[in-house]
Amino acid sequence: MPQRVATCSCRQLMLRTTEEPLRVSICHCHACQRRTGSVFAVQARFREGSVVVRGNATQYVRKGDTGQDATFHFCPVCGSTLYYQLDSVDGLIGVPVGAFANPDFPAPNISVFEECMHSWVVLPEGIEHMD
Ligand SMILES: [Zn+2]
Ligand SMILES: [Zn+2]
């Protein structure tokens, strides 16, 4: 199994994953745009048991565009979000793909909230689309 390491900007908060992600998605929703400061977010989902976290994190609970709450864990020093949990999906952890800073990370296979997608964004061929 490939081990991968994700870190915040200042690297005091880090995590290691010991399995392949269950799913990698792109989200265009406004909340993700604000969280990332980018025009869409890319995140990978892992089983909780395959993620080991080290360092200090602060929590922020977001009331989702979808009506489901999400708890974001971010570095209190540099502010990067390193992982999050959705109330609706038990036992899973989402990790922003950029935190791995690894160009070989598996590509996203699903794109959601495309009604909020910026007009110039071009998605990878063959990606699955969802509202
Ligand atoms: Zn940090
Ligand atoms: Zn989103």
pLDDT tens for 16-66 read: 999 999 999 999 999 999 999 999 999 999 999 999 999 999 999 988 656
CA distance 130 to 1: 30
DSSP 79: -
Number of domains composing the chain: 1
**C-alpha to C-alpha distance for 127 and 129, rounded to whole angstroms:** 6
The pLDDT tens digits for 76-128 are 999 999 999 988 888 999 999 999 999 999 999 999 999 999 999 999 999 99
User: Model-level pTM?
Assistant: 0.93
Instruction: Compute, in angstroms, the gap from residue 7 CA to the centroid of ligand 2.
Output: 21
Structure tokens at 51: 């993620």
Mean pLDDT, the chain, rounded, equals 94
Distance 2 CA to ligand 1 centre (A): 24
How far does residue 31's CA lie from ligand 2's centre (Å)?
6
Residue 128 placed within a domain: no
Of 68 and 30, which is predicted with more confidence?
30
Neighbours of 105 (CB within 10 A): 18
| Residues around ligand 1, an ion, CB closer than 5 A | 8, 10, 75, 77-78
55 lies in some domain: yes
Domain enclosing residue 81, as ranges: 4-118
